[in-house]
Every structure is written in C-alpha cells, then in structure tokens.
A and B are shown apart, each in its own frame.
Chain A
Amino acid sequence: MDIPYTVERREDTGLYNAKLGVWLFLASEVMLFGALFSSYILLRVGAPDGTWPRHWLDYKLGAVNTIVLIISSVTNVVAWANLKLGDFKKYRSYQAITIVCAFTFLGIKSNEYWGKFHHYTITTKAGRIADGHLQKAETTADKVVIDGHWVADASELMDPKPNETEQKIEIERKDIAEMKNYGPARNNFTGLYFTMTGLHVLHIIGGIIVIIAFWGPLSGMWKTEPERYTNRVEVAGLFWSFVDLVWLFIFPCFYLL
C-alpha cells in the first residue's frame, strides 16, 4: 500500500502529510517542555530568598553548547537547501558537520553531568562542611578525598564565590555524618536541571539517530525517490531546529539567572 501525499501536497492543507505531522508533533512538544518550564517558574518564584542556587553551572560551557547548536541548525538547513538543488555531495558534507556538532554538544553535556555527579558536599559529625570534587583514585574504604574547600555555613553553597582556592581535603569515613552529591536528588534546582536537560539530551540523541539514518543507511532513497527523500530531510530538520530553540530557553534559565 502506498502512503499518500509523501511528495505532492494535499489540496485542503497545502502541505505534504509528513510536514503536517511533524508540526502537530512539535505542537505537543511545546506543551511538554512548557509544562516543565511552568514547574520551573513555580518552584523558582516560590523558593524562599537564598535557597535557589546561583552559579552552580559553568556558563562558559553552556554558551559554547549554545553556539554549537546554532551552527548545527545552520548546517542542517543549508544541507537541506543543497538537496533542493540536487547536490547530494554537499548535503552530506554539511550534514556531517551537523552530526559532529551534535556529538560535541553531547560530549560537553556529559562532561557537565560527570562533574555534578562527582561533586560532593560532606558534613562531618563535628558539623564542619566540605565541598568539592571527589578524587576517586585516592579515596579508600577508610577515607574520602576531595579537591575543594571548607565552608563556614551551608548557605554559602547556594552562591559559591568564583575562584575559590581549592585544596586537597581528606576526611575519615567514620567522621562523616552526610555525603551528598550534586545529582538530581539534591534539591529542586538540580532535580529540574537534570529532568529538563536530560529530556533535551534525549531529543538530541533521537535527532542524531534520524539524521545519521538519512545520511547513511537510508540515503539510497535519494536515487529512487529524491523528492520524498528531500522532504524527509526537511522534516528531520524542523525537529532539529526545535531542539535548538528549546535550548535557547534552557541555557539562560539554568546557567545565567
């Protein structure tokens, strides 16, 4: 059975079906991310003064990732434009840049996640608080070693000073009352950060899979049905630009404000 309107436009909508479908899907995505942003707003404005963390994320890495996603969006659109002109070789070259950008984004993001999962706040039984990155190689069954600093008060952790001098801190395990990392369970901020960026990362992964599939294994369609293939690439590109658009809001909300 042939799928109708994969190339020609329907008279009533003026669109081919896949394009109509992807816009409906993107509309549902707006509501999905919108619900999470509304949770963010509610939790953020409801947080008592001094309890919402600031400067917990490296804004430089976030900015680099923003630029990387912008570049990937441009190369994606330019790749599609080249398909429209019938230049398959150029399409593949530009789309290869998109794929490299996508993996760069994921690399930077996983580096950030790694940092957060290895960043600990340790409260000793004597009430002292140390904060820093776990040194796994030096940590043993008896002691924990972190690269960080001692904190006078827990509230200091909500807005850490930049350029805090780090030192190696060794704490005996028997002296530890609580050891908590900067993972999703730490507080509302990290919970929302991991949920929203995690969902965004899932979209990036989904996008890469589709783009790579069209770039490689499914590219044979270009020889048999070039217009349908071009439309598929356009639809994937719409999704990719949407993923970029969502990041443009995630970045300031979590990294800057």
Chain B
Amino acid sequence: MNQASEKDLQDVKRHVRQHLIIAVGLALGTLFTLWTSQTNFGSHSLNIAITLCVAAAQAFMVAGFFMHLLSEKKMIYCFLVFTAVFFVVMMAITVFAHMDTNVVHYQQ
C-alpha cells in the first residue's frame, strides 16, 4: 500500500488531472448558470429549464467523476436505479398534485 507502483502513480496523476479539468468545467458551468439566469430567452420558463439543465450537467460531472459513479460496481447502479424510480414517482405525484384543478367550491 505504501509503496505504490509506477503504474499506480501514473494512474492517480491522470485522475488528478481529470478532476482538475472537471473542476474547471464545474466553475465554468456556474458562470454559465449566472449568465443564463440574467439573460432574457423570451420566457421565464425557458430560463428555468436552461438553468436547471446546466445544474443537472454539473451534478452529472460531480457524481460521475468525483464520486466515481461512471466506473462503479453493478450493485450500486441497482440501488441508484431503485432510487431514481422512487424519485421520479415522488416528482410525478408533485406534478399530478399541481395538475389537479378539480376544485369544488361549496357555497356558504
């Protein structure tokens, strides 16, 4: 463990370089998010969509590279698929709740 081979050393150096590039990408993403939020794209909904897409791309970079999710074991992907399903269901309930306009007004 303490005596890392030359190959390990090169591997880690490559990973460190990769992480630095990702960090620069994340910082640029943050600046881009600031720009999109200040720019008028015609509708506020479009601004929200673009800003959230950039945030999702940044989240992908953090999960994929910093958390090594791109090269993880199958078992972890299984957990995350289940989590994603429950998450989507929860968000769908939110959307359905918002779409439910069947409000009954009772006269007093």
State the A residues within 8 Å of B (CB): 13-15, 19-20, 23-24, 27, 30-31, 34-35, 38, 41-42, 45-46, 59, 63, 66-67, 70-71, 73-74, 76-78, 81-82, 84-86, 226-227, 230, 237-238, 241-242, 244-245, 248-249, 251-252, 256-257
Find chain B residues with CB under 8 A from A251 CB.
30, 33, 55
Q: Quick check: A226 and B51 within 8 Å, CB to CB?
A: no
Q: In the complex, which of the residues A23, A30, A59, A249 has the most CB atoms of chain B within 10 Å of its own CB atom?
A: A23
From A38, A67, A227, A248, give the contact of B91 (CB < 8 A): A38
Q: In the complex, are the beta carbons of B20 and A85 less than 8 A apart?
A: no
Interface size class for chain B?
A: 35 or more
Q: What B residues does A30 contact at CB under 8 A?
A: 83, 87
* Cα of A76 to Cα of B68 in the assembled complex, Å: 13
Q: Which of A31, A42, A244, A249 contacts B94 (CB 8 A)?
A: A42
CB < 8 Å neighbour of B90 from A20, A35, A237, A245: A35
Q: Of residues A20, A70, A244, A257, which shows the largest number of chain B Cβ atoms within 10 Å of its Cβ?
A: A70
Q: Which residues of B in the span 3-28 have a Cβ within 8 Å of any Cβ on A? A: 3-4, 8-9, 12, 15-16, 19-20, 22-23, 26-27
CB of A212 to closest CB in B, whole Å: 20
Chain B positions within 8 Å of A23 at CB level: 76, 79-80
From known contacts A241-B67, A244-B66, infer whether A42 and B59 are also in contact, taking CB-CB under 8 Å: no
Taking CB atoms, residues of chain A closer than 8 Å to B31 are 63
Chain A proximity of B83: nearest CB distance (Å): 4
- Which label, helix, strand, loop or mixed, suits the secondary structure of the A interface? helix
Contact pick for B37, options A35, A45, A77, A252, CB 8 Å: A252
Report B's interface with A, CB cutoff 8 A: 1-4, 8-9, 12, 15-16, 19-20, 22-23, 26-27, 30-31, 33-34, 37, 47-48, 51-52, 54-55, 58-59, 62-63, 66-67, 73-76, 79-80, 82-83, 86-87, 90-91, 93-94, 97-98
Interchain nearest-CB distance for A249 vs B (Å): 5
Q: Which 7 A-B residue pairings sit nearest by Cβ, starting from the closest?
A: A256-B37, A86-B2, A38-B94, A27-B83, A241-B66, A74-B23, A14-B73
Q: A15-B73, A73-B66 are in contact. Are A31 and B86 (CB under 8 A)?
A: yes
B4-A85 in contact (CB<8A): yes
